[in-house]
Structure 1
Amino acid sequence: MLSDTQRATIAATLPAVEGSLAEITPRFYRGLFAAHPDLLDNLFNRTHQKSGEQPQALAGSIAAFARLQLEPDVRRQRFILDRIAHKHASLGVTAEQYAVVHDHLFAAIVEVLGAAVTPEVADAWDQLYWDMADLLISSEADLYAEAGVEPGQVWREVRVIGREQVSPDTVALTLAPVEGQLPSFRPGQYISVQVPLLDGARQIRQYSLTGSAGEPTWRFSVKLAGEVSAHLHEHVFEGDLLHVSTPFGDLILPDDDAPLLLASAGIGCTPVIGLLTALSERRDARPVTVLHADRSRDRQPHRGMLAALTDSLPSGRLIQWYENASPHVVSDAVRLGQMSLDGVAVDRNSHVMLCGPTGFLSSMREAFLDHEIDESRIHYETFGPELLRTGAR
């Protein structure tokens, strides 16, 4: 744990470190992947590395955690770390890998900041890193124990028993166990899927489970959007085997019976469908407002399922936005343009569940905060790198 002296050192040097993170993180990843090329091929998302999104996500995580040590906010710290821990668990990250990351991260910091990294500065930032790492390692150990697996041992072979085209560029795959039973999952959770690519890499992506938690099979949908989704679209059919993880994820139904606002964009509808399936099965009577944005009706995945599940709820309401749609379909329930809360009844006591691209999450989070929804009641899921904010707004 940081001492008062170390905390003061962090406070004094945080502006300089934050100002250099855009240079530090690319150097860190270059050094890490040069020493451990298997991590780039088989663990990290290569697409996000090329775009620069993953380095930004690491920088955001470090800066956010550092600031939370200077202005303690246990709830926000827990929110950030829980999300990272679930993602790490779905990838099979182990405690030993934190030491590898530490060595290359601090080598990059020293390389960029040079003489400014005095022994006192190095000691403070070293302690900060291990404070964050120890919290994550502990959380991930709890997740592994809850799932009934040894740390990192999350992978299994499953067989594809169904494939359905649910939009022009989206397929839904149904999975069955090769032997035994599939682990249970909570509605809203996801699995990681690892696929072998032509260059020998085994890349991993996460996909939300959309079926009923009570069924013996798993179901997820894949929108064509990159090298892993292209492999699944082009090469995976009924009878084929897939390498998948145990389910993880914290975008799950809250324990209370407060109203729900479920907002998604594009393929972000999949965790919403998982949540709606559970609500429908138990005929949940609370007010549930479903908001969804897409480019067009003809390319919208699960359009009929989203409507049917919402209609099955005693107090369900669906409003959808399309960037491209004929004016004659416009109504109170079908709107043109991007999602907006104009004309949408927002109960301040609602739990808000968001899923979609980073830009969508950021804009809608701000919109709900402007409608006086407390930040603690806004939950979200994204399968891109999370660009974490260091402030409350």
Structure 2
Amino acid sequence: MLNNNTIAVIKSTVPVLEVHGTAITKRFYERMFKSHPELLNIFNHANQKQGRQQTALANAVYAAAANIDKLESILPVVKQIAHKHRSLGVLPEHYPIVGENLLAAIKEVLGSAATEEILEAWADAYGVIADAFIGVEAEMYKHSEEQAGGWAGYRAFIVEKKIKESDVITSFYLVPQDGKAIAGFEPGQYVSVKMDIPGERNTHIRQYSLSDAPGKPYYRISVKKEAGEPDCPAGKVSVYLHEQINTGETLWLSAPAGDFTLDQKDARPVVLLSGGVGLTPMISMLNTLAETAPDRPVTFIHAARNGKVHAMREHVEQLAQKLPQLSVYWVYNLPTEEDAASGAFHKEGYIDLEWLRSKVPASDASFYFCGPVPFMKAMNQALKTWGVAEADIHYEFFGPAGTLD
């Protein structure tokens, strides 16, 4: 437990963190990777290059400081991050490394403003927060290994099928190399894929949503090919998967993880909103509902650039023909002439609140959304403006968590 003086000192640093938080976390990662380059085998290099990881950590540190007197209020965030840590293989021995470099970064960036009292208070606070993460993650590691079909670390899977879903998205059907059972999962969860790419110094790990319902003898991931920039590592793994990984080859997976999951106990209508490759967890949720709750009202709305990049459209439309309670709508930002001629979409442009309210029967429903950050911000704002209860708004960031406000 932290004493009152430590809590007061931490709270006094909140305004400073609001201004200098990202500078601190940027310096933190620079220091840590220089002294412990082996950790580059865990962290996503693209997120580092783009600044997303630094921003996410800055937001987490700020939230911890602002809520240091009621840390239980940030437990949902702790669990969300812990899922990612467990999936990546973050271990208790990594936390002292993080703490040492975080405190050093605070001292470097703030200079004389970082008094001994402030540094000592943050050292105490970090110890409490680290213990919370380690405890939550220990339970997750135990469950991951001891559940039926579970395993520790990474397990070899064979690519049984490779299916092109659109011009940019390909599905990989993965079965365990050892022929044994695989762990179940909640619709909406993801797996980490660890890859050693020829010519690359470090291992790359990427997290991909499972895109089919649980209970199958395989896992399916549906991956968008991200071209990226020449000097940016974005797309290294997805391009390698698309161009180099074929049927019969091996991928290494961690057990399923994630807290963005479908509430299957809720019998109310459910609305699934997706943009681009954000449809992958929604397909898992939709397929699960089709199998386990075919009478539950579902509205499935997907936004894509055009029909060429729209994955799994035929599959969803076939489900809609079988399930009278399923309503399906497509929104194309830049439809092709072929799309227009075939009537392939229901709205051109973007999803706005007026149109959304015309397609969704009522706001008393469970809403799930995923996609590019601008899409998610627009959906979050629309739902809040509509008066949807915060408890009924669920979303997932692909990559480090950001803010939608």
**TM-score, scaled relative to structure 1:** 0.92
Report the counterpart of residue 400 of structure 2 in structure 1: 385
* Aligned counterparts, 1:209-220, within 5 A: 209-220=210-221
Report the counterpart of residue 313 of structure 2 in structure 1: 303
1:338 aligns with 2:350: yes
C-alpha deviation, 1:58, in angstroms = 0.8
Report the counterpart of residue 3 of structure 1 in structure 2: 3
- Are 1:192 and 1:205, in contact at CA under 8 Å, matched by a contact in 2? yes
1:143 aligns with 2:116: no
Question: Which one of the candidate residues 281, 303, 322 is aligned to 1:293?
Answer: 303
C-alpha deviation, 1:329, in angstroms = 6.2
Alpha-carbon distance in structure 1 between the residues aligned to 2:33 and 2:71: 34
Alpha-carbon distance in structure 1 between the residues aligned to 2:151 and 2:8: 36
Alpha-carbon distance in structure 1 between the residues aligned to 2:174 and 2:343: 38
C-alpha deviation, 1:310, in angstroms = 4.2
Deviations 1:3-29 (A, max 9, x none): 222222122221112211122111111
Report the counterpart of residue 374 of structure 1 in structure 2: 389
- Are 2:84 and 2:257, in contact at CA under 8 Å, matched by a contact in 1? yes
* Aligned counterparts, 1:107-256, within 5 A: 107-148=104-145, 153-179=152-178, 180-197=180-197, 198-225=199-226, 226-254=235-263, 255-256=265-266
Question: Which one of the candidate residues 334, 349, 367 is aligned to 1:324?
Answer: 334
Moved more, 258-267 or 116-125: 116-125
C-alpha RMSD of matched pairs (Å): 2.3
C-alpha deviation, 1:79, in angstroms = 2.6
C-alpha deviation, 1:341, in angstroms = 2.4
Alpha-carbon distance in structure 2 between the residues aligned to 1:101 and 1:203: 20
C-alpha deviation, 1:64, in angstroms = 1.9
Alpha-carbon distance in structure 2 between the residues aligned to 1:2 and 1:36: 30
Q: Give the match's secondary structure for 1:10.
A: helix
1:356 aligns with 2:371: yes
- Alpha carbons of 1:318 and 1:68: their partners in 2 closer, same or farther (altered >3 Å)? farther
- Are 1:93 and 1:152, in contact at CA under 8 Å, matched by a contact in 2? no
- Alpha carbons of 1:44 and 1:108: their partners in 2 closer, same or farther (altered >3 Å)? same
- Are 1:293 and 1:338, in contact at CA under 8 Å, matched by a contact in 2? yes
C-alpha deviation, 1:332, in angstroms = 12
C-alpha deviation, 1:185, in angstroms = 1.6
- Alpha carbons of 1:374 and 1:170: their partners in 2 closer, same or farther (altered >3 Å)? same
One-letter amino acid of the counterpart of residue 87, structure 2: S
One-letter amino acid of the counterpart of residue 301, structure 1: A
- Alpha carbons of 1:337 and 1:159: their partners in 2 closer, same or farther (altered >3 Å)? same
One-letter amino acid of the counterpart of residue 321, structure 1: V
Alpha-carbon distance in structure 2 between the residues aligned to 1:263 and 1:330: 23
Alpha-carbon distance in structure 2 between the residues aligned to 1:316 and 1:64: 39
Alpha-carbon distance in structure 2 between the residues aligned to 1:182 and 1:268: 24
- Are 2:298 and 2:326, in contact at CA under 8 Å, matched by a contact in 1? yes
Deviations 1:217-240 (A, max 9, x none): 111111101000011011111110
Deviations 1:293-312 (A, max 9, x none): 11111211212223333444
- Alpha carbons of 1:3 and 1:258: their partners in 2 closer, same or farther (altered >3 Å)? farther
Query: How many pairs are equivalent?
Result: 387
Alpha-carbon distance in structure 1 between the residues aligned to 2:37 and 2:71: 37
- Are 2:320 and 2:328, in contact at CA under 8 Å, matched by a contact in 1? yes
Report the counterpart of residue 69 of structure 1 in structure 2: 68
- Alpha carbons of 1:310 and 1:140: their partners in 2 closer, same or farther (altered >3 Å)? farther
C-alpha deviation, 1:275, in angstroms = 0.5
Deviations 1:271-325 (A, max 9, x none): 0000011100124322211121111112112122233334443421122211112
Moved more, 354-363 or 269-278: 354-363
Alpha-carbon distance in structure 1 between the residues aligned to 2:76 and 2:369: 15
**TM-score, scaled relative to structure 2:** 0.89
Q: Give the match's secondary structure for 2:354.
A: coil
- Alpha carbons of 1:27 and 1:149: their partners in 2 closer, same or farther (altered >3 Å)? farther
- Are 1:310 and 1:318, in contact at CA under 8 Å, matched by a contact in 2? yes
Alpha-carbon distance in structure 1 between the residues aligned to 2:223 and 2:137: 27
One-letter amino acid of the counterpart of residue 9, structure 1: V
Q: Give the match's secondary structure for 1:342.
A: helix
Question: Which one of the candidate residues 82, 85, 102 is aligned to 2:82?
Answer: 85
Alpha-carbon distance in structure 1 between the residues aligned to 2:219 and 2:392: 29
- Alpha carbons of 1:78 and 1:152: their partners in 2 closer, same or farther (altered >3 Å)? farther
- Are 1:279 and 1:313, in contact at CA under 8 Å, matched by a contact in 2? no
- Identity percentage of aligned residues: 36
- Are 1:290 and 1:310, in contact at CA under 8 Å, matched by a contact in 2? no
- Are 2:10 and 2:65, in contact at CA under 8 Å, matched by a contact in 1? yes
Alpha-carbon distance in structure 2 between the residues aligned to 1:35 and 1:315: 57
Alpha-carbon distance in structure 1 between the residues aligned to 2:50 and 2:155: 30
- Alpha carbons of 1:270 and 1:61: their partners in 2 closer, same or farther (altered >3 Å)? same
Q: Which runs of 5+ in 1 are unaligned?
A: none
- Alpha carbons of 1:177 and 1:113: their partners in 2 closer, same or farther (altered >3 Å)? same
Alpha-carbon distance in structure 2 between the residues aligned to 1:333 and 1:368: 23
Moved more, 272-281 or 323-332: 323-332
